[in-house]
Amino acid sequence: MSFEDPLAPPPTRGSLFTRSRPLRAGDVAPDNRLRLDGIARYLQDIGSDNADAAGFAETDPVWILRRTVIDVHTPAEWPDRVSMRRWCSAYSTRWSTMRVEMTSDKGARIETEGFWIHINRDTGMPSRISDSTLELLGSHTDVDRLRWKPWLAEQLPEDGTDVPFPLRSTDFDPLEHVNNAAYLHAVEEHAITRPDLLQVPHRVVIEYASPITTGEQLTIRRREDSDALSLWFVVNGVSRAGARLTRLTV
C-alpha cells in the first residue's frame, strides 16, 4: 500500500474486537469535533483492551507504533457515542497492521490503521510474535507477508517554517517517550489553521522514526501548499517523525 491507497475493508471472517464509548468534552475542539489527539487516545485504549481480552498482553506485551493512518470521512461530534471495531489487516512474523473503524448513530465514520512492531522487552529489538497471537492475527486476513514501506518518503527539508513545540510532563509515557497521542496534539495544533483540509474528508498519516525523550527540545518544521500540510518533528536538526494532512481522495 501507499499514501494514495484506500485502507483494507473489514474481514469476512473471524471475530472482531468491539468497544463503544461516549465522546468526552476533553477530547473535542471548540466546534465539538473529536480532535486528532482524541482519536489517537481512543486507538490506544482499544488496543490495550484488545490485548488484555485476547491474552497477548501476557504473551506479546511490548509493541511500538511505526505509522498511524487516520481517514476522517465524517467527523464524530460531541455529544455522541462511537462504536469501534478492531482487526488485523495484514501481518508478518514480527509486525502487523491493525485496523480500527469508528462509527456512530449520528453518522460519524473514521477509518484508521496502525503499523505495529512487536518488540523483545529485553533487547528492545523486533522479535517474533508468539504462535497464539499469530493464529489470532491470521483469523482475520490471509495477507501474511507484510513488509514495511514508508508512506512519507520526503526527507527533512532545509526550508520551511520552524515553530518551537514545548513538551509537557503529561506528554510522556512510562518509557519516558513522547506518547503517540501527544504527536497528534501537535498535528491538531497546526491543522486548525487549514480548515480547507480539516473541514472536508481528510487523511492524516504520521510515521515515527525514533522516540523523543524527556529533556529534549522539539521544533516543528512546517511546509504547506494548496493540497497538503506537512510537518516534521525535529530534535537537534534530525527528524524524529513526520506527518501529512491532505484531502481524502480514496
Q: What are phi and psi of 145, to 5 degrees?
A: -125, 45
pLDDT higher than threshold 80 for residue 220:
yes
- Contact between 66 and 208 under an 8 Å Cβ cutoff? The reply is yes
Position 93 scores a pLDDT of 97
Q: How confident is the model over 129-139, as pLDDT tens digits?
A: 999 999 999 99
- DSSP letter at 171 equals G
Instruction: Give the C-alpha separation, 233 to 240, whole Å.
Output: 6
For the whole model, what pTM was predicted? 0.96
Residue 250 pLDDT > 80, yes or no?
A: no
Residue 148 · residue 204 · CB < 8 Å: no
Q: Which stretches of 8-108 are assigned E, i.e. beta strand?
A: 17-22, 63-74, 81-91, 95-104
Matching residue, cell 469535533: 33
**Residue bearing cell 504527536:** 183
Q: Is the peptide bond before 75 cis (omega within 30 degrees of 0)?
A: no
In the chain, pLDDT over 90 holds for what percent of residues? Answer: 89
Tell me if 137 sits within 8 A of 95, measured CB to CB.
Answer: no
| Dihedral in degrees, nearest 10, Cα atoms 210, 101, 187, 157 | 60
